[in-house]
Amino acid sequence: MPLDVPSLAQALAKTSGASPDGLETVHSVLCRREAGAFQRAAKATGATAEDLLVACTQESRLFLDLNEQTEGAAGVQVRPIRFVNIRETGGWSRDAKAATPKIAALIAAAQLPAPEPVPTVTYRSAGRCLVIGGADAASRAAALLADKLDVTLLIDRPGGALAQAHDVAAHHGRLQQLSGWLGAFTAQWVQEQPIDLDLCTRCNACIEACPEGAIGFDYRVDLAACKSHRDCVRVCEAAGAIDFTRAPELIEERFDLVLDLREQPAFTMHQPPQGYHHAGADERALTTAVLALRELTGEFEKPKFFRYDEKLCAHSRNEQTGCTACIDVCSARAIRSDASRKGKADGKASRHATATAGGSGPLPAPVGGRVIVEPSLCVGCGACSTVCPSGAMSFAYPGTPDQGKRLRTMLSAYAHAGGRDAALLVHSEGAGTRLVDQLGRAARTDRTVRGVPARVLPFAVWHTASVGLDLWLAAFAMGARQVWVLVTDEEAPEYRHALADQMAVAQAIVSGLGFAGEHFRLLEARDARDLAALDAALQAAPAAGVKTAATFAVQPGKRDTLDIALAHLLAQAPAAATVATQAIALPTAGAPFGSITVDAAKCTLCLACVGACPERALADNPERPQLKFIEKNCVQCGLCEKTCPEQAITLEPRLWLADEGKARKAARVLHEVEPFQCIRCGKPFGTLRAIETMMAKLAGHAAFQGAAAERLKMCGDCRVIDLHSNPNEVRITDLPK
């Protein structure tokens, strides 16, 4: 790599505050001929050892081994070691000579301390494995698994042959339902066959005795061919495995693992539960599944990827359903609505991943209450946090403050090193990293490939769907000219749609503020066959950005980060003179900001919408009949619109910029009317519209005629006084039901 060592040393010194003399030598074969230099660097004494950063990922395993075997006296403390790739991401490209600012940014970010650990989710597997399929395929799979696992076969179709040796439990049956996850699967099937495989000794006497040949070596009776001779029952008398009078039986058993060899999988979601493997008739998939299943005994842990704050959730109020964004986007179907809670503070999650024999996926989830996330099903995509408008759902592995610190460090180091027009390339740590590496290597051998440009900063995340609008706009405010998200086959279709919707919102905001160009884009690449298209996409021209990069810290709360980022962008907006009195229209899908419009001709100021609003965007006025609105708090969940009995409310996705954005934070009156005054004492109560509507609806009711109708125009106190002043008047409680 054509490294500019003095410039790189200066850039790192600006970022870390250390002396530039610390970077003196560039090693080219540190893992081999120069291994001694690495071992000397790895030595440390006492408790002052710092992380050792090696800018090579290809030989990371060798470096870790060398680190453990560092030469020196007994008691020497070996430094922790971390790695960063500056080769494929920068040094191996046509822009390598200009990549010093990017390399400085990558090294600066790699020097940050690791995020705080998160809670974990535990799985326990004793190795009970259910294999579903035909006799031949299931028997072959059982032979590959039985030495490590406790295998049970569910033979769901005729044909083939079961192994003669009775080594594993076997059943005939039609799978009715499969639910659960690693260590906690529940399978239900209907047993309809006359032959009980648990009792069958596989002596084959029934096969020889059957005059119609209705019994095969799969030990199933073809009931269509059977003529009721029952010779098979006679020859099986000792074992007693055949009973034609046995009623169909629903059997339910628990398993830790499932291998599905049927054509259609039991789980149709993009991310099936851990511990479930579908191979069908694919031999390669079968090999992969068998190798994975053989290792799934014992206790396993994974991070709990999400945090959920029910107080911020805009899913439901008063048995009306509002926002369902997280439920709709979850490809693992780990999120559901809990109708049984109806807003209560208690309640437990139930097993939600459920598959039917027809492969239709989970049973429909009821609506209402809060949302529940099943940690055992969550795969950590983070898409729920991306689409959540209120910030009730947030990604925790790592959290947004840690991601924001990485962004700020990278962009700041890049700028301090003289870098310009930074573009952020968000990609996954798995398939995304492999594609970026392949692009860098291709640039070494193919003159038509440019590689990762010097201004493009790769930003690896656990999953691309875990980074959304708040971090994108924060990155733009911190100096990035563009934010690109690289999606591969890892991403479910739901994630692509969600990311596209969020990007449309982000682009609408920055374009509305006057920043020219395309700032947010999804880049799609499946594998090496798409490298040419990816290479071309990365060569896009820079878009307009902020003149002064922000230095704020990303907040744990999504709305807080958005408010800070928007304030900076508004202050930096090229069109600041014109946007001050404008509102930026936002796409309907995925918009987390907006207003509502109230039809004054319909609204009775019943204030049902105020009680339904989960974010306190709507409020009343105790002194006057008014409906107030704080636009900053609105998340466009739609609960007010659905709750309004008069259908007087309409959502209006937008970003209001009046008074330099300050108007969004102030309460404004959406609708007000003159109060109705009590006809007896003159005290204001209710509204004229509400009283007129009530009078009209009750005009034909027998209990509200004459004086009773006039009493509707009185306040509560006067109504009681008037009622007791006329004791002989027929009351509503006296009327027959």
pLDDT of res. 357? 43
Would you kindly state where each structural domain of the chain is located, as residue ranges? Answer: 5-84, 123-300, 307-387, 398-577, 593-672, 675-734
Residues 670, 607: contact at Cβ < 8 Å?
no
Whether the per-residue pLDDT at 355 is higher than 60: the answer is no
Banded pLDDT at 624 (limits 50, 70, 90): confident
Banded pLDDT at 493 (limits 50, 70, 90): very high
Whether the per-residue pLDDT at 395 is higher than 60: the answer is yes
List the one residue out of 528, 539, 318, 570 whose CA is nearest residue 434: 528
603 vs 724, higher pLDDT: 603
The rounded percent of the chain whose pLDDT value lies above 70 is 90
Mean of all residue pLDDT scores within the chain: 88
Residue-wise pLDDT for 223-254, tens only, equals 999 988 899 999 998 889 999 998 999 999 99
Judged by phi (left if over 0) then psi (alpha if -120 to 50, else beta), residue 159 lies in left
Residues 154, 213: contact at Cβ < 8 Å?
no
pLDDT of res. 343? 42
Whether the per-residue pLDDT at 734 is higher than 70: the answer is no
CATH number of 593-672: 3.30.70.3270
Where do runs of H (alpha helix) occur along 265-324?
A: 283-293
Top mean-pLDDT range of 29-33, 427-431, 674-678 = 427-431
pLDDT of res. 358? 40
pLDDT of res. 238? 84
Query: Running DSSP on this structure, what letter comes out for residue 552?
Result: P
Helix (H) or strand (E) holding 334: none
pLDDT of res. 629? 97
pLDDT of res. 130? 98
Tokens of 347: 């309640």
Q: What average pLDDT score do residues 2-23 get?
A: 76
pTM of structure? 0.87
Nearest-angstrom CA–CA distance, 685 and 688: 9
Q: Which residues contact 197 (CB under 8 A, 6 or more apart)?
A: 155, 162, 170, 171, 172, 219, 241
Banded pLDDT at 195 (limits 50, 70, 90): very high
Q: DSSP string spanning 430-457?
A: THHHHHHHHHHHHHHH-TT---S-TTEE
Residue-wise pLDDT for 13-30, tens only, equals 877 666 666 666 778 888
Residue-wise pLDDT for 433-491, tens only, equals 999 999 999 999 998 999 999 999 999 999 999 999 999 999 999 999 999 999 998 89
Nearest-angstrom CA–CA distance, 199 and 172: 12
Question: Which SS3 state, helix, strand or coil, does residue 445 take?
Answer: helix
CATH topology of domain 123-300: FAD/NAD(P)-binding domain (3.50.50)
Torsion of CA 494, 500, 501, 507, to 10 degrees: 170
List the one residue out of 681, 691, 689, 685 whose CA is nearest residue 718: 681
Question: Which SS3 state, helix, strand or coil, does residue 530 take?
Answer: helix
Residues 424, 473: contact at Cβ < 8 Å?
no
Nearest-angstrom CA–CA distance, 132 and 278: 10
262 vs 48, higher pLDDT: 262
Tokens of 548: 């002064």
210 vs 69, higher pLDDT: 210
Query: Running DSSP on this structure, what letter comes out for residue 315?
Result: S
Residues 558, 388: contact at Cβ < 8 Å?
yes
Banded pLDDT at 52 (limits 50, 70, 90): confident
Residue 585 phi/psi, 5-degree rounding, is: -70, 135
